[in-house]
Amino acid sequence: MIKLNAHMHGKYVNLNSVKDEAFSSGMLGKGVAIIPKFGVVFAPANATIATIFDTLHAITMVTEDGMEILIHVGMDTVKLKGEHFEALVKEGEKVEAGQPILRFDLVKIKELGYDLITPMIITNSDDFEEIKFIDNLDKVAKDNILIEVAVKSNSLPTVEENKSDKKPKQNKDSKALKWFQAFGRSLMVPIATIAAVGILYGFTAALSRPQVQALLPFLENEYIYYVLFLIREISGQVFGLIPVLFAISISFGLAKREKEIAAMAGFVTYYVMLFSASYMIKSGLFEFGNVGLGNALGISGTIEMGAVGGMVAGILASKLHNKYYNISLPVAIAFFGGKRFVSIAVIVCGTILGQILPFIWMPISSLINAIGMAIAGAGNFGVFIYGMLERLLVPTGLHHILNGIFRTTAAGGVYEGVEGVWNIFFQFFGTVDIEVLKPFTAFMAQGKIPFMVFGLPAAALGIYHATPKDKRKAVGPLLIAGALASFTTGITEPIEFSFLFIAPFLFVMHSILVGISFFLMAILEVGIGNTQGGIIDLFVYGFLVPNSNWTYAVYVGIGYAIIYYTMFRWYFKKNGLVVEASEEDEIEEKSSGNQKSQTILQGLGGRDNIVEINNCFTRLRVDVKDVNKIDEALLKTTGSIGINKTSQTHVQIIYGPKVDVIASDLKTII
């Protein structure tokens, strides 16, 4: 017989008193509830903390006997987003019965109008033979026991079996995947910023070239030239801030709460880390040589880590912030607690890290240089592998990390001491002949143009022609939007996700063709830089740049259009595939944004199922409590192109470029 203690001091009530059907109906499992007298939650048994919700209003644990327990403080308290709550334990920590595990400000939460009735649910109730609730309040008060549970024979694993159970490993893997997805998502803001600045830089650099000015004499006007040069120089400076942008964005994106404080901590960590490393290198105590050294933020002779340095600083800052942003210190030094302590922590840890990094980064610099040389040694085959892998990773959202490695580190190449194809191209574009930059543009926009401008729009047409005529009206707008996004801006997810889930074979073939596209552009010595790959890049970095060989991208692109159209039309028709869409999509688009957002909210399982909402260029990324509560059919009526459940607590819904507005509306209503 397993016994569970009361999880709070207060009034014991039946679960049907909870004004939430998920609890009162027993849908989540059997249990009891307490109306709290004080703002402290206690562990009901010896257990291991499994999950602490980001909003701190709920916590789950697993007892030594395998019982899974959920304690949920109040109703709708998820809306507080962690305010007035404080976790007293950590995930994975072992606790004893009666140990305080969560604290909350009962008075303030009540004043805000929240019902603080707190259920304790045995979520795996079916694994037990009998669950007996103590209805004698005198006995509860005396023995502090609320529930007695009889275990079915052989129904639960023993403690020893639990140790070898594979479930913790799966949870660990899921947690790691979730972290990498959050990390990749954090890179999106600086990447979007730099992509936009890249267009400005390329356009002004192209207009400043003598060949272009000969065609357009008015560009030689000193005032016009001044403006063009100003925009070009400012844009170039932004590219030098890539590591700083990464440090700030990653610390902001990975922070659970008080994100603005974390963003500042990311910058401070990065600066202190570089200054500390420079101080160590210049001290003369050790001989480091000059390999891997550079200048950043006015600090000379420091380690040249590029974007990797920003990533390291951002990750460190986010870890320290999440751990210490709400720390309580003794009264005498209480002023330095909480958010202020984060500043102290990042300065101390950034300094220590900076002292250590020169000893680590110098060998790594040599290794990265070796990798870059190996890729260069692989010649155009290495370019093919890069292009294929970059596309295969798109469904996971991790392709941004692969891109970052080649764009900002020596893995992509080194020229005049500058590392990474992105840095090299934008630092030297317009000042050296494009022929010199062609080995580096092999990893940039030129490999994308044949399939983004020509291939995928043709695939959309092939899918449309393979669709039965009675369904084309619904599918047409979806395919047109995806084709235009790919053609104009190089954003391919809308069209790719329209066929990824129903025809994964086509996505694999598409990825191979992408690798071939990169390979062909390299052997044809095309020199088109930047990163997006749409028609704008073709014009700005190809058509306007002498000797870029941009016409080859068009010739190959025409061939790709024929291949993609034929392959997609044949495959869809042969297998009777249809892109899922409905005429309701059009109705939804005409409805008010609020109504559409309410439908999306319902499709995600309601407010109580949502933990956090984020988005990238095309995807709504939502952390949920239970992915099984998601109504995919309902979400598809809101214009969703595809739905990707990456774990039991995370889902990605593809809406295309309009996702920013959708995410903002959802955040407003919840």
* CA–CA distance, 301 with 289 (Å, rounded to integer): 11
Both tokens of 108, joined, read 């303030």
Give which of 621, 503, 630 is closest to 567, Cα–Cα.
Answer: 503
Give which of 357, 376, 353 is closest to 365, Cα–Cα.
Answer: 357
Using CA atoms, how far residue 245 sits from 200, 255, 307, 571, in Å, is: 18, 15, 9, 43
Give which of 444, 424, 451, 450 is closest to 530, Cα–Cα.
Answer: 444
Distance of CA 565 to the CA centre of its chain: 32
From the CB of residue 107, how many other CB atoms can be counted at a distance below 10 Å? 10
Q: Which residues are catalytic?
A: 616
If phi > 0 it is left, if psi is from -120 to 50 it is alpha, else beta; for residue 367 that is alpha
Three-state DSSP state, 530: coil
Q: What angle in degrees, to the nearest 10, is found between the helix axes of 307-324 and 259-282? A: 130
Length of the chain: 670
Torsion angles phi and psi, residue 107, rounded to 5: -65, -50
Three-state DSSP state, 112: coil
Element (H, E) at 361: helix 339-378
| Maximum Cα interatomic distance, the chain, rounded to a whole number of Å | 96
Instruction: Please name the residues in contact with 223: beta carbons below 8 A apart, sequence gap of 6 or more.
Output: none
Give the helix, strand, coil percentages of the chain, each rounded to 5: 60, 15, 25
